[in-house]
Amino acid sequence: MAKANILIIEDDKEISRLTAMYLEAEDYLTQIIDDGLHAVNAVRQHQPDLIILDLMLPGLDGIEICKQVRTFHTGPILVLTACADDMSEVSLLKLGADDYLTKPVRPHVMVARIEALLRRTQVAQPAKNQLNLGQLHIDTSRQLVSYGEITPQLTAAEYEMLLLLASNAGCIVSRDDCCRSLRGIDYDFNDRSVDMRISGLRKKLNDDTPPYKVILTVRNKGYMLIDG
């Protein structure tokens, strides 16, 4: 049985061929799209567990694809860039990307990043399928979230961050714990990246103006979700 279904959006045929070959050797299913104009529909059609997205594409570039895909797809997006200066990490996070790699990509690093991203979406769920905290309701079996009348569309990273905070409601969750939740203990995920996810959550929960009512920042310690 395949580990996951991965959609590769890359116009360089040799890179996409080698990427697919390496991933299939690791028991992943792959599909390849080489034209940006067909990428968004391909995501809808294949409903991949993870997307590998090149930024430089014919027809429609990776930036626009990422924006459009994030309106309906919540799975991880791993961006490939020609150089680290193409876009800042903050810009990529704002677009909805979950991680990025600079070309030339080292296959073992790519697989490690993919495994970390998929672990985040397949993390063991709490014993109960419903997590209810005041106006916040999380259906962990379907990964659905509602807050009062709001039903926010969260990315995989935002959902996992919210689930971590909700599972520890009323308690401070350290930045280190947030980092491990996002990328795994083997990787150094910096505070700015965590802050971007928290900022995205606050905006989608209509809690992005201080004083915050849902997710509090505890200075020099971490974050805490209000219990109730």
CATH class, domain 5-121, is alpha beta
Name the residue among 104, 101, 45, 87 with its Cα closest to residue 69.
Answer: 45
Instruction: Give the gyration radius of the chain's Cα atoms.
Output: 18
Look at phi and psi of residue 220 and say left if phi exceeds 0, alpha if psi is from -120 to 50, else beta: left
Give yes or no on whether 5-121 and 130-225 have one common fold.
no
Average pLDDT, stretch 77-91? 73
Q: Report percent pLDDT > 90 for the chain.
A: 43
Give 135-176 pLDDT, tens digit per residue.
999 988 778 899 999 999 988 888 888 988 988 888 888 888
Average pLDDT, stretch 84-97? 68
The more confidently predicted of residues 129 and 117 is: 117
Each domain of the chain, given as residue ranges in start order, spans 5-121, 130-225
pLDDT of 2 higher than 90: no
CATH class, domain 130-225, is mainly alpha
pLDDT of 183 higher than 60: no
Per-residue buried b or exposed e for 33-60, using 16+ beta carbons within 10 Å of the residue's own CB: bbebeebbebbeeeebbbbbbbbbbeeb
Helix, strand, or coil (residue 105) = coil
pLDDT tier for residue 125 given thresholds of 50, 70 and 90: very low
